[in-house]
Amino acid sequence: MSQAQEKHLKDYAKPAFTITHVDLNVILDGKNTKITTTSKVIRNGEHQHELVLDGEQISLGSVKLNGSSADYRQHDNQLFIATELNEFDLEVVSLLDPEANSSLEGLYMSDGAYCTQCEAEGFRRITYFLDRPDVLAIYTVRIEADKAAFPFLLSNGNLIDKGEMPRSGRHFVKWHDPFPKPSYLFALVAGDFDLLNDSFTTQSGREVKLQVFVDKGNLHKADHAMASLKKSMKWDETRFGLEYDLDIYMIVAVDFFNMGAMENKGLNVFNTKYVLADKASATDDDYHGIESVVGHEYFHNWTGNRVTCRDWFQLSLKEGLTVFRDQEFSSDVGSRAVNRIQAIRVMKNQQFAEDAEPMSHPIRPESVIEMNNFYTVTVYDKGAEVIRMMHTILGEEGFQAGMKCYFERHDGQAVTCDDFVNAMQDASGKDLTLFRRWYSQAGTPVVTVTDKYDADKGEYHLTVSQQVVSKGVKGQTLHIPFSLELLDNTGESIVNKVLDVTKACQTFVFDGLNHAPTASLLQDFSAPVKLVYDFSIDQLVHLMRHASSEVARWEASVQLISQTIWHNIAQLQQQQVMTVDSRVIEAFRGIILDVNLDQALVAEILSIPSASALIEQVDSVDLDALEKAREFVVEELASACEDELLARYRELSTLDAAGARAFKNIALSLLCQVSDVHESVVEKQYYNAQNMTDCLGALKAATSAQLTCLPALLSDFESKWHSTPLVMDKWLTLQALINTDDVIVQIKQLTKHNSFSFSNPNRVRSLIGAFASANTYQFHRADGEGYRYLTQILIKLNKSNPQVASRMITPLIQFAKFDASRQQLMKQCLQELKNLPDLSKDLYEKVTKSLAE
């Protein structure tokens, strides 16, 4: 692989030239698309270096400097231009074929519409350019295309001109974006859409035009996205004092998209999955996902666009912060506890796994081969946890003062994570020297807690020690905000505070206690660490009942059920009978019957940790024992509480609320694990469902219990929804997750189904991605068939869409916890990929790092 060059943060150097203004003239004409870029270039400092521009997969038409042919050469995706001038106009003509672009990066076609994706380095697939985030320019974009096929021509900023070219049937528009921006925020869309119009008046009284563009026939599914946008705009004004800056904000939903959405200035491009929704076709989770992604992209306007990243190593500057902001938004407008639980799940189930695998990196990576490989749960979600810890340490007021200082200092600039922490530190007066280490240290710290109660002195001693080892190297001590609650034996809260843990080992003493308290540790996951403490069943039951934080009550239940499963795995391994302690059953029953608990929270508590979540809790796993023990515990709990579950199921069925539906659907799944007699309840729910949540709830119950009605339900679903791709994705996922030995054969069949296509990332993720990441037992079959099947698919996608291939390889490189034979099978597959003659940079980076372990 000749082009696989590793870049290092320590090598960062300011660009030798900058570009202040860009004029693009885009002639959209299928295979003969032509783009003329005129840039105002300025030499940065005293030097005589050539101007070096990036360009990939485009043909170069011509290069002119101040109107005359330039002296240039091309080498390895770069264009070198020699000049002694310090300021000049550069005109570059590039020719491209968007129809042949299956990578969905740069300019491509989605279902007959032209669209772009430039982050991180896609702009260089549109034109030769200084394609790096610290080059900020003002863009003017002229777009010309056939009028009938492409009535809407969109780009960033404000529309300043438009006109017809009647003889050719073509038309043109001109957009101007007054805000200097890096090339990754450029966007262009041309197509025919249905359009939802609305407006928003900002706190200072400016009227902003809001537009959501969707595929023809989907207008009725755009309302929720629009409502979410208005809610986000309002929330950012109220909580952060941040107002929108342009006169127009557009969202375009496209079917072919590599990720969720993209925050291009004034023109967000979205995956249809995060825009389209109506009650019949979208679940409550889909509605929530749309609100949070619309919010996320909107919040980027300040955290990402107005203040952007100096280089790509700083990605968490905008992503960690914007995830934190979108989580806060969802928590302020919805249930804070449930949102926190979902974020903690992502951290524990996905981020901890990533931090323990070959691609493990700090939230600010130090070296990168393919930038697209670093849009990770570490940069995003651990990045958000790092911001959240600063919020915990500074408090809301101190944090907001820090934000204000950050914008005052850096509006309109491309900056670093250090600049952000400096603003937080300077505005609040808190010393964040030690805290900064979170940015440079990979791996999940392990925080071990021991305690003792001294009855004579009435003292409780809590000792907290921290250790982080990443890739065999011992890490530095971190500043860990450690949230603690102590409960007395009646359940009263006697201490509730955040401890500043700043040493390798620290003891905290609490006095005036007349008995040993029960400790709720690391409440609400106050730091992204693994907690080790030897909880007894009684302590966990006490916390489940009395902890003042709902999140802590959920945490206690996860711990209790997990411990029960691990206990039974040990029993199996020692050929002993499996059992579930009656206290665990009573605690579970107590949750089902507690009418004072929020129903959505109950649903979270009753969701038994998945196989993959359980695997994350240990260093090595006996998969067969895990499957048996988990199934046993689920059946024991469900059958002991069968009557209560059924009664609650019936009661909740009369309610029309998302929380009630979540609880009801978990109850139904549990009931189906007990006995087939509940099959009729499933069928009734499926056929009478008034919304997609209930419909899918029934199907999920039928799938996980493999009920005999399942084939009939799936075929009914197919006949109803065959022409709605996003709904068929759910149908594909259900079948990908069936835990039967012939599932791979079924999946292969499904890849031939009309609803499936290898060129659409949503379809591929719904079927093959879901299988590899969530059908744990079948993907990790002992015969290696799961690994080999994924590998075949990756070989195919390596050529057509390397980004999607690279995202889907994750379960294959997380081999460390499995037995030697499985590890060997996984590595054989990685070796096969490594030997591919045309291996993409994306897969090359992951495969070589994994095989080097």
Name the residues that contact ligand B3K, by CB under 6 A. Answer: 119-120, 259, 261-263, 296-297, 300, 319, 372, 375
- Edge-first strand listing for the sheet containing 505-510: 505-510, 459-467, 446-454, 530-532
Name the DSSP letter for residue 348: I
Supply the minimum distance, in Å, between the C-beta of residue 627 and Zn ion: 36
Supply the minimum distance, in Å, between the C-beta of residue 290 and ligand B3K: 14
Closest to Zn ion by CB, 286 or 319: 319
Question: Which tokens is 762 given?
Answer: 């949503």
Dihedral sign, CA of 656, 662, 664, 668?
Answer: positive
Name beta bridge partners: 464: 449, 506
First to last CA, the chain: 20
Closest to ligand B3K by CB, 107 or 608: 107
144: left (phi over 0), alpha (psi -120 to 50) or beta: beta
Supply the minimum distance, in Å, between the C-beta of residue 262 and ligand B3K: 5
Supply the minimum distance, in Å, between the C-beta of residue 119 and ligand B3K: 4
Closest to Zn ion by CB, 319 or 604: 319
φ, ψ for residue 468, nearest 5 deg: -135, 130
CA distances in angstroms from 688 to 416, 653, 678, 692, 694, listed in the order given: 54, 11, 16, 11, 9
Distance, CA of 337 to CA of 630 (rounded, Å): 26
Q: How many CB atoms lie within 10 A of CB 256?
A: 22
Residue 119 interacts with which of ligand B3K, Zn ion, none, CB < 5 to 8 Å by class: ligand B3K
Closest to ligand B3K by CB, 319 or 451: 319
**In angstroms, how far apart are the furthest CA atoms of the chain?**
97
Closest to Zn ion by CB, 379 or 710: 379
642 included as an active-site residue: no
Distance, CA of 108 to CA of 90 (rounded, Å): 25
Q: How many CB atoms lie within 10 A of CB 38?
A: 16
- Edge-first strand listing for the sheet containing 106-110: 106-110, 113-117, 188-191, 152-155
Supply the minimum distance, in Å, between the C-beta of residue 122 and ligand B3K: 8
Return the SS3 of 188: strand
Instruction: Using alpha carbons only, give the angle 535, 536, 537 rounded to the nearest 5 degrees.
Output: 120
Supply the minimum distance, in Å, between the C-beta of residue 524 and ligand B3K: 24
Supply the minimum distance, in Å, between the C-beta of residue 95 and Zn ion: 32
Which entry of 297, 385, 550, 636 is annotated as an active-site residue?
Answer: 297
Question: Which tokens is 251 given?
Answer: 């969202």
**Residues 6+ away with beta carbon under 8 Å from 677:** none
Task: Give me the 292-331 binding string for Zn ion, x by CB under 5 A, dash otherwise.
Answer: ---------------------------x--x---------
Supply the minimum distance, in Å, between the C-beta of residue 224 and ligand B3K: 19
Return the SS3 of 123: helix
Residue 372 interacts with which of Zn ion, ligand B3K, none, CB < 5 to 8 Å by class: ligand B3K
Question: Which tokens is 54 given?
Answer: 């990036």
Closest to ligand B3K by CB, 120 or 660: 120
Supply the minimum distance, in Å, between the C-beta of residue 296 and ligand B3K: 5
Residue 120 interacts with which of Zn ion, ligand B3K, none, CB < 5 to 8 Å by class: ligand B3K
Residue 262 interacts with which of Zn ion, ligand B3K, none, CB < 5 to 8 Å by class: ligand B3K
Residue 311 interacts with which of Zn ion, ligand B3K, none, CB < 5 to 8 Å by class: none
Distance, CA of 19 to CA of 44 (rounded, Å): 10
Decide if 239 contacts 332 (C-beta within 8 A).
yes
Question: Which tokens is 442 given?
Answer: 């990979």
Closest to ligand B3K by CB, 375 or 777: 375
Closest to ligand B3K by CB, 287 or 380: 380
Supply the minimum distance, in Å, between the C-beta of residue 69 and Zn ion: 42
Decide if 40 contacts 21 (C-beta within 8 A).
yes
Name beta bridge partners: 42: 18, 87
Residue with tokens 């700090």: 362
Distance, CA of 691 to CA of 668 (rounded, Å): 16
Task: Write out 376-434 in H/E/C secondary structure.
Answer: CHHHHHHHHHHHHHHHHHHHHHHHHHHHHHHHHHHCCCEECHHHHHHHHHHHHCCCCCC
Residue 259 interacts with which of ligand B3K, Zn ion, none, CB < 5 to 8 Å by class: ligand B3K
Closest to ligand B3K by CB, 300 or 345: 300
Q: Would you list the DSSP string of 456-504?
A: TTTEEEEEEEEE-EETTEE-----EEEEEEEE-TTS-EEEEEEEEE-SS
CA nearest 793: which of 762, 747, 725, 739? 747
Closest to ligand B3K by CB, 101 or 465: 101
Supply the minimum distance, in Å, between the C-beta of residue 380 and Zn ion: 7
Residues 202 to 261: which contact Zn ion by CB under 5 A? none
Residue 485 interacts with which of ligand B3K, Zn ion, none, CB < 5 to 8 Å by class: none
Supply the minimum distance, in Å, between the C-beta of residue 769 and Zn ion: 20
Closest to ligand B3K by CB, 125 or 300: 300
Closest to ligand B3K by CB, 260 or 590: 260
Supply the minimum distance, in Å, between the C-beta of residue 342 and ligand B3K: 17
Cis peptide before 611 (omega within 30 of 0): no
Residue 604 interacts with which of Zn ion, ligand B3K, none, CB < 5 to 8 Å by class: none
Question: Which tokens is 117 given?
Answer: 């994706």
Please state at what angle helix 658-674 crosses helix 284-299, rounded to 10 degrees.
130
Closest to ligand B3K by CB, 80 or 375: 375
Residue 54 interacts with which of ligand B3K, Zn ion, none, CB < 5 to 8 Å by class: none
Task: Write out 241-281 in H/E/C secondary structure.
Answer: CCCCCCCEEEEEEECCCCCCEECCCCEEEEEHHHCCCCCCC
For Zn ion, the binding residues (CB under 5 A) are: 319, 322
Catalytic residue numbers, as ranges: 297
